[in-house]
Chains A and B, each alone.
Chain A
Amino acid sequence: MNEAAASPASVSGVQAIVVGASAGGVEALLSIFAALAPGFSLPIIAVLHLPDERRSQLAEVFDRRLHIPVVEARDKEMIQPGTLYFAGPGYHLSVEHDRSLSLSQEDRVHHSRPAIDFLFESAADAYGPNLLAILLTGANQDGGRGLAQVKQLGGITVVQDPLEARVDVMPKAALALHTPDYILTLSRIGDLLASLESSPC
């Protein structure tokens, strides 16, 4: 799997980014998004597993800390460039073919709702080879199946280096299912995201 750690300099054609994280995810997400400049052009859609409370402060917290707009994803909303969307608690978040967002309350996946798998699989359907999917730290198995689907439909996959991950269960489970394009540290993932800004899509 060493070849997976190659330099991500060649990444291009990305039209959307999906990110999944669980335990340890807040710090990891803040770290990879910190370098994004105002005017960053790509949409980012993220699932972070949360306690099942009705209202989440996640979007507000990130909006204060980042240079790009951050909102909680709303049902039937068209995906806007340069915006970071967070899945709210208690609902799965999907991407539709017309590149709008949708919510649903199907059963939990790996005890989680929202599930990273559902976001990744539906985004893979909508964006095909123009999707970049990133899976970070976490203590369960969610995300691996979705990541494999992204890869199968031609998208680019990144798994956080398990050696660096606060909790390595989720990255390791994903690596057991498929070989991602890149295994990277948070700081390199941040560099990769920042570098996408200038690439044509």
Chain B
Amino acid sequence: MDRSTDIELRLLIEAIYLKYSYDFRDYSGASVKRRVAHALRQFDCKTISALQERVLHDPTAFMQLLQFLTIPVSEMFRDPSHFLAIRQEVVPLLKTYPSIKIWIAGCSTGEEVYSMAILLREEGLLERTIIYATDINPNSLEKAKQGIFSLESVRAYTHNYQQAGGTQSFADYYTAAYDYAIFDKTLRENVTFADHSLATDSVFSETQLISCRNVLIYFNKKLQDRAFGLFHESLCHRGFLVLGSKETLDFSAYSKQFEPLVKQERIYRKS
């Protein structure tokens, strides 16, 4: 791609922001560029300008493009040792709160939400917990609300669950129907799914724990700092922040305002 492509890309991102208020301007450039290039092929558009014209005049086309711009790669109990560390190091402290609010930011299609709900149920905390599960992609949120996952992927999740210190049989949490696993809807009784953007929205509640995993890698440093600022504001005194296995506060302006609880597992506490 040449320089004109970079200009077109900036214009597209700006147009999306002006028209639809979705703000990708401070996303990491290399990945956005690849995803737009991928979308071009799917939309059968020759140039980004042509794609821009389409999405500006057709909200349905924008919703399709949004599916390319967001990355719904997730799994339940991803990085099992992370969930084991939450169980062992964080849960005992969470138990000291009479009621608990948890924010799962960038929850995508819900895998992180169900993982957390299952862990909390096994620790006897789910009934006194409210989980806010937020994402910018309404299609992902809709899938998350349904809690239906392919049986094939659930087989991999089962392995993760066991490694993560699960105390039951994972099959207790879902009903198999054809090729799908329908998750127990009581797991999401206290879950509020909501549209929220870390790029444009503000804090909506005080929380004891925030989980934001494999979301921040798609942001540039400036937007990461905005997100860390929101998390810092939302978390109660000594609240917990948990990140993805390759995400770190080390390069952030907020690195001093959190301290690692289990550094290897990216579990931090507000200082």
Contacts and interface: CB of A to CB of B under 8 A. Distances in A.
Indicate, yes or no, whether A interacts with B. yes
Contacts of B79: 54
A74 B250 contact: yes
Contact of B221 (A76, A91, A92, A118): A76
A152 B261 CA distance: 47
Given A95-B30, A97-B29, A105 B245 contact: no
A146 B65 CA distance: 25
Nearest to B32: A104
Interface of A: 54, 74-77, 88, 91-92, 94-97, 100, 102-107, 118, 121-122, 125
Interface in B207-230: 214, 216-218, 220-221, 224
Interface in B164-199: none
Given A74-B248, A75-B248, A105 B221 contact: no
Contacts of A97: 29
Contacts of B33: 122, 125
Interface residues of B, number: 26
B217 A102 contact: yes
Contacts of B248: 74-76
B35 interface: yes
Contact of B29 (A54, A74, A92, A96): A96
B35 A106 contact: yes
A103 B221 contact: no
A76 B251 contact: yes
Nearest to B216: A75
B34 A100 contact: no
A125 B35 contact: no
B71 A105 contact: yes
B250 A102 contact: no
B28 interface: yes
B31 A94 contact: yes
Interface in B17-73: 28-31, 33-35, 71, 73
Given A74-B251, A77-B251, A122-B30, 9 more contacts: A54-B245, A75-B216, A91-B217, A92-B31, A105-B71, A106-B31, A106-B34, A106-B73, A125-B30
- Interface centre among B28, B217, B224, by most chain A C-beta atoms within 10 angstroms, is B28
Contacts of A92: 31
Contacts of A88: 246
Contacts of B220: 76, 96
Contacts of B34: 106, 118, 121
B247 interface: yes
A104 B31 contact: yes
Contacts of B246: 74-75, 88, 91, 103
Nearest to A88: B246
10 contacts: A54-B81, A54-B245, A74-B248, A75-B248, A76-B251, A94-B28, A103-B217, A104-B30, A105-B214, A106-B31
Give 6 nearest A-B pairs by CB, closest first.
A94-B30, A122-B30, A104-B31, A102-B28, A105-B73, A76-B251
A40 B79 CA distance: 36
A103 B28 CA distance: 9
Contact of B71 (A54, A74, A104): A104
Contacts of B245: 54
A79 to B, nearest CB: 12
Interface string B249-263: 011000000000000
Contacts of A103: 217, 246
